[in-house]
Amino acid sequence: MNKPTIKLLALALTISGLVTQVSFAYELLNNGDLPSGRSGWKIEGNSNVEPAAAPDKGLVVNLNARHWTYLRQEIRLNKKGQSAINIKVELQASPDFKRAQKSDEYADLDWEEGNYGWTGNVNPKCDFMVTVSNGGGWDYRTRKLKPGQPQTITADVQKLKVERSVFTLALPPGEGSVTLRLVSVKLRD
């Protein structure tokens, strides 16, 4: 082989190796960027959930003083036991946001901000929670909110054991509101 052919072959092998290392991701949620208000979301709880006032986009969740509020969607994964997802939530808690210190709905769990797996469906004492059902249990991502400040919350869930899962955003009993601006769940292959 001559030198130009060897260089082209080496370049082709390098590009081929790079392409096989790229991870492709696609969106699993309907209306995750929230242009259609509540559409696509199953909302549970006694909170008032309404579209953000123009020119803002998103959903405003006014907290209920005594009950959790849940926004849910079923997501379809590619392969049982082999799926991983990336979660991104852009939100802003109102300046008067305050989680209720006591509630009959809190489990006897004081989880710090972090990632947890649990066989039961529980409501720990936390400001904000993402849950993903996962084959007889749940993966929890609890986060602390900063009143009055925009936040981007990211999390990963690895090795989902099911082909269909329920993705949930959970807001605790309390005062104030949380504006959800973007919710994204991307499947990683």
Average pLDDT over residues 62-68: 93
Tell me which residue of 139, 38, 144 sits closest to 98, measured CA to CA: 144
Query: In sequence order, which ranges of the chain are alpha helices (DSSP H)?
Result: 3-21
**Structural domain span for residue 153:** 24-188
Share of the chain above pLDDT 90, in %: 40
Domains in the chain: how many in total?
A: 1
* CATH code for position 29: 2.60.120.260
Residue linked to tokens 């986060």: 143
pTM of the entire structure?
0.82
Task: Report CA 100 to chain centroid distance, whole Å.
Answer: 22
| 18 in any annotated domain | no
Query: In sequence order, which ranges of 29-178 are alpha helices (DSSP H)?
Result: none
> Can you tell me the distance from the alpha carbon of 170 to that of 61, in angstroms, rounded to the nearest whole number?
10
| The pLDDT value given to residue 87 | 93
